Structure 1
Amino acid sequence: MIKKLSRLALVLTLSTLPLAIPASAAPLPLPADPFTRATAPVAAQEVPLFQALEWIGEAAESRDGYSWEKFKHWNKGLNPTDGCDTRKEVILSEAKLAPETGARCALSGGRWFSEYDQVWVTAASSLDVDHMVPLAEAWDSGASAWTPERREAYANDQGAPASLIAVSGSSNRSKADKDPADWLPVEVFRCEYASAWVGTKLRWQLPADPAERDALTRLAETCPDTTVSYEQVPL
């Protein structure tokens, strides 16, 4: 009888001790917050559009205090001694048939293809050099906090082929300062446009607002083979 009671006491004592949990049964870590976006790398080449879009932060926009005069343009361009400002240098670089260049970079002749509306342009004076992400949109997205020097660098950026584009004046006026939620080029250029827009935002570390992001996501769904390349401009 004494042995039975001792055995019962031992069982009760053991049942009150904390049990060790094997490693395989340990609680799993909580999943990452689905709304937390990965930090964009400093540079990337041919990243799928969907992935690159995930690297852009999301934020509300504000146009308070904006003026295009706060972005000094056009400056003397890449070659300060050739008499051509940034605008003329972009026009020359994108010519399908090079124009003649006269004194003070006066341009005559030449031929260009305006991607926004898919039309040929035969006079440099009929071209606008558009900021892929308009100056006002950049201001809305955070350029309001930049130094004047960084805003000038943005407004004259020839360090990436997507930053500035020569297009017909009429298509540029149609776009104005709208983002992809409110304006898109002709359909055949939309995938390339989305890539250029996302690449520019990543290059200058600018976020997107919710409507802009939704529009870009819809574009990405129709552009599964589109990629993005960029290199950040340091803050």
Structure 2
Amino acid sequence: MIKKLPRLAAVFALSMLPLTTPAPAATAAQPPLVGAGPTAMASVPAAAQDVPLFQALEWISEAPESRDGYSRDLFKHWNKGLNPTDGCDTRKEVILSEAKLAPETGARCALSGGRWFSEYDQVWVTAASSLDVDHMVPLAEAWDSGASVWTAARREAYANDQGASASLIAVSGSSNRSKSDKDPADWLPVEGFRCEYASAWVATKLRWQLPADSAERDALTRLAEVCPDATVTYEQVPQ
């Protein structure tokens, strides 16, 4: 898996139709919509495919956030990745998987050459050293939303999650620094990637059963309104 666009397409599908197109109805196999609230997460299916963004957002409960006690060091990263014997940590594995032109891999997974497309700012990157691997939902945001009560093992699993291609993304270092630990209420990528970004954000929150605060939900709702055909696919990580 080496191209970004197919990789994202495995997680969510997006096509553009006129804004007047009626929102798709939920399928019979899906539970009724539930409103944001303390019991909302209990009604969320453990996995869903191609759920309309507006509906998936309803499955994210609303809760206040707290950053008390946060430290990036509480999320062990990067670990040895999917193949502990190849010398590539999770960061390098993501970079390799998203290369448009594969780099050469040397001793200890040293990368040279290659070409990548940074979705956040829609620019080409020609050196792996200029890339950051970003957590779609930043570690600090995950902590604020409930990861503060997780075990160390679950936080490590979150920080190195390659089980869903929306969780981690290779982008230019400058765009990642611009995003930092902000949620969609405070930062968005370039317009051409916003619908995909909203879908990936919601998919990650549902995968890890994390709520959103009111400002975050409002921002995602506005995105859902202008992305009527964005869909979300996810599978929960058991608690």
Paired residues of 2:75 and 2:159 also in contact (CA < 8 A): yes
Select the residue among 53, 58, 64 that pairs with 1:54.
58
Residue 78 of structure 1: aligned partner: 82
Residue 214 of structure 1: aligned partner: 218
**Structure 1 residues 122 and 63: alpha-carbon distance in aligned structure 2, compared to 1, 3 A threshold:** same
Residue 102 of structure 2: aligned partner: 98
CA distance in 2, matches of 1:40, 1:55: 6
CA distance in 2, matches of 1:158, 1:226: 22
Query: For 1:92-131, what aligned pairs fall within 5 Å after superposition?
Result: 92-131=96-135
Residue 233 of structure 1: aligned partner: 237
Aligned partner of 2:218: which letter? Answer: D
Paired residues of 2:35 and 2:59 also in contact (CA < 8 A): no
TM-aligned CA deviation for residue 179 of structure 1 = 0.1
Stretches of 4+ aligned residues off by more than 4 angstroms: 32-36
Aligned partner of 1:70: which letter? Answer: L
Residue 41 of structure 1: aligned partner: 45
Any stretches of 5+ residues in structure 1 without a counterpart?
1-31
Q: TM-score if structure 2 supplies the norm length?
A: 0.84
Q: How many residues align?
A: 204
- What is the Cα-based RMSD across aligned positions, in Å? 1.3
CA distance in 2, matches of 1:53, 1:78: 30
Q: Secondary structure at the match of 1:151?
A: helix
CA distance in 1, matches of 2:175, 2:190: 10
> C-alpha offsets along residues 77-109 of structure 1, whole Å, 9 cap, x if unaligned?
000000000000000000000000000000000
TM-aligned CA deviation for residue 40 of structure 1 = 0.9
Paired residues of 2:111 and 2:128 also in contact (CA < 8 A): yes
CA distance in 2, matches of 1:104, 1:69: 24
TM-aligned CA deviation for residue 34 of structure 1 = 5.8
CA distance in 1, matches of 2:79, 2:151: 16
Aligned partner of 2:89: which letter? Answer: D
Residue 67 of structure 1: aligned partner: 71
CA distance in 1, matches of 2:100, 2:147: 33
Residue 223 of structure 2 is aligned to residue 223 of structure 1: no
Select the residue among 152, 164, 167 that pairs with 1:163.
167
Q: TM-score if structure 1 supplies the norm length?
A: 0.85
